[in-house]
Structure 1
Amino acid sequence: MASLPALQSQIYRTLPALERADTIAQRISTAISLGMLREGERLPTESELSEMFGVAGATLRDALASLRERGVVETRRGRNGGTFVVKAPTAARDLMRRYLAETSLAELRDLGDEHASIAAATVRLACDRADPKELDRLEQLARAQARADTPEAQARADSRFHIELAVAAQSPRLMAAEIRLQGEISQVLWTPLAGEYSTEAAASEHLEMVEAIRRDDPAAAQRLALEHIRRNIYHLIDTKLTLSYTDRTPEDDVRESM
C-alpha cells in the first residue's frame, strides 16, 4: 500500500529521551485503535523497532511484553514468526465518560476549531496533490465505514479515512496533527455513551468529500469537511450535556436551589 511508509514514519518515529516502554506501547496501541495497524499485520522486527524508536532493545521488549499482556499483540516463533497484531484495544466506557466529564464545552469547541482548520487545509491540498489511486483508496475506506458493525470498528474506519486523507494531501505535519486529533476524539466519538453516532451519515459525508476532491473543487471539499467536523463536535457536546444531566443526583438539585 502506497501510504505505508508515510504511516510508519508517524507510528515509529524516534522518541524523546524521557519517553520509554509505556509510551511505545501506547503509541502502537493507539495506531491499532485508529486503524493504522490492522489485525493480522506483522510489526517490524525488534531490532528495526529499537532503531526506529531510538531505544535500547530491553526497553522495546518491555513495551512488547506490555502489549502481549493486554492481548493486543502476540509473538510467534519460527521462519514466519514475528510480532503480530491480534486485536484492537477495547474502548473503556468509563474512560470515555471521564474524558467528557473533565473536558469543558469551551475545550470541545476549541477542539472542533482546531480539527476544522486541519481538515480544511487537508482537503484543499488533496485537491491539488492526490492521485486517482489515492482517491480510489479513500472511496474504499468510506464504503468500509458503512459496513463497520461495532463501535471499535467504526472508530477505526473513521480514523483511517481521515488519516489517509492527510496522506493524500502529502503533508507530514498535517498527517501528524490528524493522528493526534483522532487519538484524542475517535473512540469517545463512537462509543455509545448517550446515543449511537450514525455510521451511515459519516460514510456518506466521507464519500461526498472524495467526490468533491475528484472534481477538483476545493471550495466544496472544504465546506463538506467543515460541516462534517462540526457535526462530530456537536455530537460530543450533546453527549456531554446528556451525561451531565443523567449523572445529576438529588443532592445536586438541592445545592443549586439553596
Structure 2
Amino acid sequence: MTDLPDPAPVLNSWVLLKPGAASNAFEGTVHRLVQSLKLGLVAPGEKLPPERELASMLGVSRDTVREAISALVEAGYLEAKRGRYGGTFAKNPLPTSSALSETSSRVASIIDTLALRAVVEVGIVRRLAHQELPRESRERLWRAHEECQAADLADYRVYDTRLHLLMGELVDAPSLVPVLADIRMRVNELLDQIPLLQPNIEHSCEQHQRIVQAILRGRPDVASVEMEEHLAGTEALLRGFLD
C-alpha cells in the first residue's frame, strides 16, 4: 500500500496574520497575534514563525513585530527561548482574562462603548478645530498633551483621561462633559483589564500630538481622521485581548 502524504490542516494556524491598517501597525499586530493565540489557532507551546516571516505576513516592519512580541512576552502570552531550538513560543497556559464573566456581555460592552466613544470624541475634535479657541484654551490643550507625553507608565492613563476630558470641556457645551466622563469611565474599565504596552503608549502620544496640532491649526478634517485612527488603535487592543 502506497503511503499517502499527510493531509493539509483544516485551518492554517496563521490565517489571521494578514496586513491590517498601516496607521496602527503595532496595535494591529498585537491584536492579530493575541486572537490567534486565544482562538487556539496557535497551539499552546507552538513556535511562531521567525520575525522576518511574520513581518512579511502582516505587512509591517520587523521592528513592529519585535515590539509586539516583546510586549506579549511581558504580558505572559508568548515565551522567548534561546539556544539551538529557541524562538518565540505560545505560552502554555495562556493568561486568564479578568474581564467580564460572560463573553457575550463583554463583547456587547466593548462594541457599545467604542461606538459611543467614536461618535462623541470624533465630533469633539472636529468642533474644536472649527472654533477660534482663546489663547488660554490653546495653551491648556498643548500643556495637557505635554503632561500626558511626559507621564510615567503607571500614571499615563490618568493624564490621557485628562487630555480627552479637556477637549470636551473646551467645546463649551456643559452637558457634554458628563457624557464624555461616563464614556471614559467605561473605556478605562475595559483598559484596566488589558496590559499596559509601552509601544502603544508611545504611539498614542504621537497621535495625541497630531490631533492637538490639527485642532490648533483649524483643520477639522485632519483632526477627525487622526482621532479615528487613535480610537481604532485602542479598539484593536481591546478586541484582541478581550473578545
Report the TM-score when normalising by structure 1.
0.50
The verdict on how the C-alpha distance between 1:118 and 1:196 changes in structure 2, with shifts beyond 3 A counting, is same
Structure 2 equivalent of residue 65 of structure 1: none
For residues 228-239 of structure 1, the aligned pairs below 5 Å read 228-239=230-241
Q: 1:224 to 1:102 in 2, by over 3 A?
A: same
Select 1:175's aligned residue among 169, 173, 177.
Answer: 177
| Distance in 2 between residues matched to 1:99 and 1:172, nearest whole Å | 36
Which consecutive unaligned segments of at least 5 residues does structure 2 have? 1-95
Question: Aligned pair in 2 of structure 1 residues 95, 237: CA closer, same or farther (>3 Å)?
Answer: closer
1:215 is matched with: 217
**Aligned residues: percent identity?**
18
Q: Which amino acid aligns with 2:223?
A: A
Aligned partners of 1:161, 1:149: CA distance in 2, in Å?
Answer: 15
Return the offset for 1:109.
Answer: 2.3
User: Higher RCO, 1 or 2 (CA under 8 Å, sep at least 6)?
Assistant: 2
- The within-5 A match list for 1:103-142 is 103-127=105-129, 128-142=131-145
Higher helix share: 1
Q: 1:149 to 1:191 in 2, by over 3 A?
A: farther
2:146 alignment partner, SS class: helix
Q: Provide the aligned length of Structure 1 versus Structure 2.
A: 147
Contact 1:163 1:178 in 2 (8 A): yes
Shift of 1:123: 0.9
SS of the aligned residue for 1:97 comes to coil
Cα deviations by residue, 1:132-162 (Å, 9 ceiling, x for unpaired)? 32222122221222222233x1110110000
Unmatched 5+ stretches in structure 1: 1-93, 242-258
| Partner AA of 1:143 in structure 2 | E
Which residue type is aligned with residue 132 of structure 1?
R
Letter in 2 for 1:234: A
Cα gap change, 1:240 to 1:119, in 2 (>3 Å):
same
**1:174 is aligned with what amino acid?**
L
Aligned partner (choices 178, 194, 203) of residue 205 of structure 2: 203
Q: TM-score with structure 2 length normalisation? A: 0.53
Cα distance per residue 1:96-146 (max 9 Å; x no partner): 633795743343123211101101211122121532322221222212222
Residue 162 of structure 1: aligned partner: 164
**Counterpart residue identity of residue 114, structure 2:** G
